[in-house]
Structure formats: structure tokens, C-alpha cells
């Protein structure tokens, strides 16, 4: 892939000290401004490299990827996958030392922005391979394992898949049942079990498989291990059976199959990472993959805005361009502002990843949830603007809806990610609260060693840190952010104190808190991005972006206020009893005619 040779600065210098997580800090009213400001700069040589590779991919796509045919025939030609390997698409994230291009997270995400809207099935092949399939090997593999498999994975000679889900184990991934029993005589593991809905399952030759090594371990998470399962060049491996292709609502050209293990023997040397660390490996792999799903949503949203503008400016009704009707303007502005905020979040997050910030799990989850839901709404807005045409299969909206719907389900459903956003933050908050409780017992002795949070907490109510690095022109928005970040921190603490460990069952409240932290991250990323734009271009040239930031932060504030109010005043008890009656009736119990 000569044109896509990585530039020096694709590798960003790592931070000397490990700062904590940007979003976890918000739980105790602290804003790690150094993580959010300045907005990550994409160096000119990286832009050039990615632009050249984008051109090469667009050309390749036009010549080789017949997207309509792929969708119609539910088949992605295997020779096109091989050609994608030749182009270098399958090795973007693989370090140069192992034959890949060593793209930074930002560069990879920019490519995923492009690939998704051109053909969603292609993006699943590339993403299933790189975002998750081979990621355990990159993150946790030994040098010998990397040397053995990464060059072929980079060249696309091996396509990777990530095999975690099982028929009985979806969101509750730790309950997986596939076993890997060690056979000391042959120094092999023997795999048995069924993996479900595995992307690239029909043709992958390298599987990251999560299986349980039975033991006396009390913590059953600690039984889970990650294994590289590699087939022969013809795709076979004794004991590995590929199920038939699933018939899906969308992403029809992508391959999704069961992978069944029946006494499948693999060398013990294929264990990836430490024994018993499989669950951690799965979680960390998915954490890195989620940002690129957000990037795909940026690309899809931009494509929808383009279509919506084309139609709205050409179509006339009542002798007027429909673009001039205020309800259409509102949709266009809403789509644009959400896309701007999402793009800001995605590339703030890739900036954290590329700087070596160790914990970006919550930021990645925000990109995935906000991105996939914004894309869905943006497609819906674009379809509405297209009117009846939007409903016709000759237009791209229906397919976009079908293809994008899965985004809210896989790589952690958006419900599970909302739980992650709150419970991980609360875990850290709980640790800080323990410190406060301990300190209160001996306040004088502990004064010197308290964290900033404990100091603040002992003084009374938590106030969030002021944002000091937002451009003065956005002072009002920055102050609103700080105000609601403070309210959020207090609300999270109140809920944690009230429910203690039982907070895990209080999902109505968790959903509201998650929605607030997603909005806060979107605001912070937007404010940081626009501040950089003003500093670079000056206020006058950044006028459009300032307006978007104001518009987005204002709308976002209303969503935050509604969620925060509902934490205190809600109809949760009725929500439970209404749903209970419906469950008991087995459906709608109030038919007017019965
Ligand atoms: C096209 C496709 C491709 C896929 N690719 C892969 C792949 O490559 N590798 C792989 O390992 N897996 C893959 N999956 C599986 C995917 O990750 C799972 O479908 C997903 O994790 C959800 O699991 P589930 O379908 O069993 O749903 P369930 O876990 O049964 O969930 C059903 C519903 O209940 C909700 N729910 C569950 N628990 C809770 C809770 N505690 N609180 C609130 N709501 C809850 C969920 O959010 C969801 O709405 C793929 C799936 C599809 C459809």
C-alpha cells in the first residue's frame, strides 16, 4: 500500500504520567482539562496520508465493489476481499513492524468514516477483522504470536473474526459456556461449544475465541481465556464447523454465521494473553472497537446530510423550495449539529487513545451510543425530507436504515453501554466516598493525604471545576457545562448513597445519568473543538462553528435538565407496575373493543 505509507507523526508521543479518565473524573466534579484541551490536532502529513489512501480506496470501491449487487445477492465476492488485502485495507491498524501500516486510531477512524457509507458490508469485513477480530492479538499477543500471524492478517491472506457471543450468552458475555480443556499429553486445548452471529464467520481463517478453561476458581470470570484458532488455507480445521449464513435485516452482503467447535484441538501456544484474562481481553478489545463505530456513524451522517440538502434544495412545493420551510431547516440544522458534536467526540476520543491515555472506555461508549443513535435519527430525518421518495427502494434511505439498525445492538447493546457508563463511573466514585468516610473518622490526621474530591466533599456540596480553556466567546456555554457537571456529580453521589450496592438494579436512574454524561461529553468535545477552530481561524471565520456550538449546547442543556429533573420527580413506580400488568396479560391488556 505505497500510497498509504504512514507518516512519522501517525504515532503520537505518549503521555509521561497516566492521568485518570476524563469522564470518570466528572463523577466527582473534576474536569481533566488537560485531556480535553487543546482539541487534538491532526498533523498535516497524517491528513495527506489519509487523503491519499481515501482516494485510492474510493477508486478501488468504484471499480470493484458493486454495493447494490452485494446487498441484493447477499454475497460479498471473496476476490474483492483479497484485493482489499492487496490494497492494504486489512492492515491499517497493524504495526509496521508486523507488516501493517501502523495507522493511529484517528487515521483508522477517518478511513472507517469513508468505508461505511460506500458499502456497509465492506465496513463489517474491515471492522470485524481489525476493530475486534485481530485486536486481542495486537493488544495481548506475544511477539512470537504477532510475528506468526500479523503479517498474513495485514495482507488479508488471513481474515479475522471475533467469537464471543453464544446462543445463551449475549449481553451477559461472562456466562459463556464454550469450554477449552487442556490435554497435557499433546499440549493442546480441546474446544467444545457454539459461537453465534460471528461476523466474517463464513470465510475468516483467524478466530479470537473466548472459552472457559474449567477450574476450581470461585470467580468464574477468571476461567475465561482467549485463543487464536487458525484454519488451514482452505478454511478447514478438524472440529471447526461453520454454520449456514444468517438471513439478516441489513448488512446483507456481510457474512454472519455460527462457529461450532466439536472437539477442536488447538496448540496450547495459541493462548492469547494470560490464562484467565480472557474476559478482560474481550472487554478491552470492545472498548477500542467502539470508537470506530462512532466514526462510521459520522460518515453515514455526513452522507445523509448531503442527500437531504440535494433533495431539499431541488424539490419545490407551494412554489417554494422545501429547503426554505422552517420545519425542513430545523431538521437540516439538527442533523448538522449532532454530526458536528459526534465528530468532535470521536476525534477527541481518538486523541486520547493516540496519546496513550490508558482508560477511554467511557468515552468510547459515548461515541458508540451517541453515534449510532444520531445516525439512526439522521437517516430518519433525511428520509422524511425526501418524502415519498424516501420510502422507495430505488433511493438509499431504506437500505441505510436496515444497515445501520444493528449498530445499536452489537459491540455492546446501547442499554448495556449505558449501564457501563454509570456503573464504572460510580465504582470510582464509591472508592472516593470510602476515602471520605475514612477521613471523616480522623479528619485532622487525614487532611494531608486526601484527594481533591475528598477535600471538596468534606466542605459540603460538590461543585464541578470551571472550564478555564474554552474561548471567552463561548463563556456562557462553558459555565452551563460546569453548572450541570456539578449537578450531575451530586446526583450520582446521592443515588449511590441512597441505593448502595443495589444501585446496579436501579436502571431507570442509571439510564438518566448515562444520558446526562453522554450529553456532557458531547458538549465538552464541541466546546474544545470550536475553541481550537477560533484559535486557528479567528472568530470571524469560525462564526459558523460558534453558532453550531451554541445551538448544540442549548439543545443539549434541555435534554440534561429533563433527565436530571426526572431523577427526582418521576413515575418509576408506575413504570414498573404498568409493565408488570402487560407482562401478566401477555400483551396489550386494554383493547377498547373487548
Ligand atoms: C449482525 C450481527 C453481527 C454480530 N457480530 C458479532 C461478532 O462478530 N462477534 C460476536 O461475538 N458477537 C457478534 N454479534 C452478537 C452481538 O454482539 C449480540 O447480539 C449482542 O451482544 C446482544 O446480545 P443478544 O443478541 O444475545 O441480546 P440479549 O443480551 O439477549 O439482549 C436482548 C435485549 O435485552 C437488553 N438487555 C440485556 N441485558 C440487559 C440489562 N442488564 N439491562 C437492560 N437491558 C438489558 C439488551 O440491551 C437487548 O435490548 C453480532 C450480532 C449480529 C446481529
Burial 249-271 (b: 16+ CB within 10 A, else e): ebbbbbbbbbbbbeebebeeebb
Whole-number Cα distances in Å, 482 to 113, 364, 463, 467: 31, 22, 8, 7
Which pLDDT does position 217 carry in this prediction? 79
Query: Candidates 166, 174, 176, 197: which one to mutate for ligand 1, based on the most atoms within 8 Å of Cβ?
Result: 197
Percent of the chain with pLDDT over 90: 87
Least confident of 39-53, 112-126, 208-222: 208-222
Residue with CA at minimum distance from ligand 1 atom 37: 171
Cell of 569: 420527580
Whole-number Cα distances in Å, 461 to 30, 448, 454, 457, 516: 13, 20, 11, 6, 19
Strands 271-272 and 179-183: unpaired
Query: Candidates 194, 413, 507: which one to mutate for ligand 1, based on the most atoms within 8 Å of Cβ?
Result: 413
Give yes or no for a contact between 224 and 215, defined as CB atoms under 8 angstroms apart: no
Q: Does the Cβ of 164 fall within 6 Å of ligand 1?
A: yes
Give yes or no for a contact between 429 and 362, defined as CB atoms under 8 angstroms apart: no
pLDDT band at 465 (very low <50, low <70, confident <90, very high): confident
Instruction: Single out the residue of 353, 334, 370, 348 nearest to residue 517, CA to CA.
Output: 370
Task: Output the CA 79–ligand 1 centroid distance in Å.
Answer: 31
Strands 160-163 and 206-212: parallel
pLDDT band at 8 (very low <50, low <70, confident <90, very high): very low
pLDDT, tens digit, for every residue of 502-559? 999 999 999 999 999 999 999 999 999 999 999 999 999 999 999 999 999 999 999 9
Query: Candidates 171, 258, 420: which one to mutate for ligand 1, based on the most atoms within 8 Å of Cβ?
Result: 171
Least confident of 217-231, 453-467, 483-497: 453-467
pLDDT band at 29 (very low <50, low <70, confident <90, very high): confident
Strands 240-242 and 224-230: unpaired
pLDDT band at 7 (very low <50, low <70, confident <90, very high): very low
Q: Considering Cα of 304, then 310, then 315, then 321, what sign does the dihedral take?
A: positive
DSSP code string of 152-214: HHHTTSS-EEEE--BTTBSS-GGG---EEEEETTTTEEEEEEEEEEEETTTT-SEEEEEEE--
Q: Does the Cβ of 207 fall within 6 Å of ligand 1?
A: no
Interaxial angle between packed helices 507-537 and 475-499, expressed in degrees from 0 to 180 and rounded to the nearest 10: 160
> Rounded to an integer, what distance in angstroms lies between the CA atom of residue 300 and that of residue 292?
12
Instruction: Single out the residue of 556, 557, 529 nearest to residue 334, CA to CA.
Output: 556
DSSP structure class, residue 219: S
Q: Does the Cβ of 389 fall within 6 Å of ligand 1?
A: no
User: Residue 15: phi, psi to the nearest 5?
Assistant: -70, 145
Which pLDDT does position 10 carry in this prediction? 35
User: Residue 198: phi, psi to the nearest 5?
Assistant: -90, 115
Q: Rounded to the nearest 5 degrees, what angle is found at the Cα of 85, between the Cα atoms of 83 and 88?
A: 115
Which pLDDT does position 437 carry in this prediction? 62
> Rounded to an integer, what distance in angstroms lies between the CA atom of residue 6 and that of residue 45?
9
Cell of 521: 461529553
> Rounded to an integer, what distance in angstroms lies between the CA atom of residue 32 and that of residue 22?
6
Burial 447-467 (b: 16+ CB within 10 A, else e): eeebeebbebbeeeebbbbbb
Task: Output the CA 475–ligand 1 centroid distance in Å.
Answer: 42
Which pLDDT does position 461 carry in this prediction? 60
Task: Answer whether residue 434 shows pLDDT above 90.
Answer: no
User: Does residue 411 have an active-site annotation?
Assistant: yes
Give yes or no for a contact between 114 and 299, defined as CB atoms under 8 angstroms apart: yes
Burial of 272 (0-12, 13-18, 19+ CB in 10 A): buried
> Rounded to an integer, what distance in angstroms lies between the CA atom of residue 192 and that of residue 205?
18
Task: Output the CA 420–ligand 1 centroid distance in Å.
Answer: 15
> Rounded to an integer, what distance in angstroms lies between the CA atom of residue 376 and that of residue 405?
7
The model carries a pTM of 0.93
Which pLDDT does position 455 carry in this prediction? 56
Give yes or no for a contact between 205 and 236, defined as CB atoms under 8 angstroms apart: no
Task: Output the CA 407–ligand 1 centroid distance in Å.
Answer: 11
> Rounded to an integer, what distance in angstroms lies between the CA atom of residue 408 and that of residue 250?
13
Which pLDDT does position 435 carry in this prediction? 63
**Where does 17-90 have alpha helices with state H?**
22-26, 33-36, 44-64, 67-73, 78-87
pLDDT, tens digit, for every residue of 78-88? 999 999 999 99
pLDDT band at 272 (very low <50, low <70, confident <90, very high): very high
Q: Does the Cβ of 406 fall within 6 Å of ligand 1?
A: yes
Burial of 388 (0-12, 13-18, 19+ CB in 10 A): exposed
Q: Mean pLDDT score of the chain, rounded to an integer?
A: 92
Cell of 101: 501500516
Give yes or no for a contact between 104 and 46, defined as CB atoms under 8 angstroms apart: yes
Among left, alpha and beta (phi > 0; psi -120 to 50; other), residue 227 is beta
**Where does 183-314 have alpha helices with state H?**
278-314
In the set 223, 343, 411, 519, the catalytic residue is 411
Give yes or no for a contact between 176 and 209, defined as CB atoms under 8 angstroms apart: no
Amino acid at each position: 500500500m505505497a500510497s498509504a505509507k504512514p507518516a512519522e507523526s501517525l504515532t503520537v508521543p505518549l503521555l509521561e504520567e497516566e492521568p485518570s479518565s476524563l469522564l470518570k473524573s466528572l463523577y466527582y466534579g473534576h474536569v481533566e482539562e488537560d485531556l480535553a484541551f487543546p482539541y487534538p490536532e491532526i498533523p498535516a502529513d497524517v491528513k495527506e496520508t489519509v487523503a491519499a489512501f481515501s482516494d485510492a480506496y474510493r477508486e478501488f470501491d468504484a471499480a470493484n465493489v458493486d454495493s447494490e449487487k452485494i446487498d441484493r445477492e447477499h454475497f460479498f465476492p471473496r476476490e474483492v476481499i483479497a484485493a482489499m488485502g492487496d490494497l492494504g485495507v486489512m492492515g491499517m491498524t497493524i504495526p509496521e513492524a508486523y507488516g501493517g501500516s501502523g495507522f493511529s486510531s484517528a487515521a483508522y477512524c477517518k478511513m472507517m468514516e469513508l468505508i461505511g457509507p460506500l458499502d456497509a458490508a465492506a465496513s463489517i469485513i474491515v471492522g470485524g477483522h481489525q476493530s475486534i477480530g485481530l485486536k486481542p492479538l495486537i493488544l495481548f499477543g506475544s511477539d512470537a504470536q504477532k510475528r506468526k500471524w500479523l503479517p498474513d492478517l495485514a495482507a488479508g491472506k488471513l481474515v479475522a473474526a471475533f467469537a464471543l457471543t453464544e446462543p445463551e450468552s449475549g449481553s451477559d458475555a461472562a456466562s459463556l459456556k464454550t469450554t477449552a480443556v487442556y490435554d497435557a499429553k499433546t499440549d493442546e486445548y480441546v474446544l467444545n461449544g457454539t459461537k453465534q452471529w460471528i461476523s466474517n464467520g463464513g470465510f475468516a481463517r483467524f478466530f479470537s475465541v473466548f472459552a472457559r478453561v474449567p477450574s476450581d476458581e470461585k470467580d468464574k470470570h477468571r476461567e475465561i481465556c482467549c485463543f487464536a484458532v487458525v484454519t488451514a488455507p482452505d478454511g478447514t480445521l478438524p472440529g471447526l464447523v461453520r454454520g449456514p449464513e444468517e438471513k439478516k435485516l441489513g448488512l446483507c452482503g456481510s457474512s454472519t454465521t455460527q462457529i461450532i467447535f466439536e472437539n477442536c484441538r488447538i496448540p496450547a501456544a495459541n493462548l492469547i494473553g494470560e490464562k484467565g484474562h480472557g474476559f478482560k481481553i474481550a472487554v478491552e478489545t470492545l472498548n477500542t472497537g467502539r470508537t470506530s463505530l462512532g466514526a462510521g456513524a459520522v460518515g453515514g451522517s455526513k452522507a445523509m446530510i448531503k442527500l437531504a440538502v440535494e433533495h431539499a434544495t431541488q424539490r419545490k412545493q407551494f412554489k417554494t423550495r422545501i429547503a426554505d420551510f422552517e420545519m425542513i431547516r430545523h431538521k437540516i440544522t439538527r442533523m448538522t449539529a449532532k454530526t458536528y458534536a459526534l465528530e468532535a467526540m470521536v476525534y477527541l476520543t481518538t486523541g486520547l487513545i493516540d496519546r496513550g491515555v490508558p482508560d477511554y472506555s467511557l468515552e468510547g461508549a459515548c461515541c458508540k451510543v451517541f453515534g449510532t443513535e444520531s445516525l439512526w435519527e439522521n437517516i430518519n430525518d433525511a428520509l422524511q425530507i425526501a418524502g415519498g421518495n424516501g420510502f422507495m427502494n430505488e433511493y438509499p434511505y431504506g437500505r441505510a436504515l436496515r444497515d445501520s439498525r444493528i449498530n445499536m445492538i452489537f459491540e455492546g447493546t446501547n442499554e448495556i453501554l449505558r449501564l457501563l457508563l454509570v456503573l464504572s463511573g460510580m465504582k470510582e466514585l464509591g472508592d472516593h466516598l470510602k476515602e471520605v468516610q475514612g477521613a471523616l473518622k480522623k479528619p485532622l490526621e487525614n487532611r494531608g493525604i486526601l484527594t481533591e474530591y475528598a477535600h471538596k466533599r468534606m466542605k459540603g456540596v460538590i461543585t464541578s471545576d470551571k472550564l478555564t480553556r474554552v474561548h471567552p466567546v463561548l463563556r456562557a456555554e462553558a459555565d452551563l457545562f460546569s453548572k450541570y457537571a456539578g449537578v450531575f456529580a451530586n446526583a450520582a453521589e446521592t443515588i449511590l448513597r441512597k441505593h448502595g450496592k443495589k444501585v446496579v438494579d436501579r436502571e431507570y436512574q442509571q439510564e438518566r445519568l448515562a444520558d446526562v454524561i453522554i450529553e456532557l461529553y458531547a458538549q465538552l468535545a464541541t466546546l474544545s473543538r470550536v475553541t481550537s477552530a477560533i484559535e486557528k481561524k479567528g472568530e470571524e471565520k469560525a462564526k459558523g462553528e460558534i453558532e453550531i456550538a451554541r445551538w448544540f449546547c442549548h439543545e443539549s442543556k434541555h435534554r440534561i435538565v429533563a433527565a436530571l429533573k426526572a431523577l427526582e420527580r418521576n413515575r418509576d413506580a408506575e413504570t414498573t407496575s404498568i409493565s408488570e400488568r402487560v407482562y401478566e396479560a401477555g400483551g396489550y391488556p386494554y383493547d377498547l373493543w373487548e
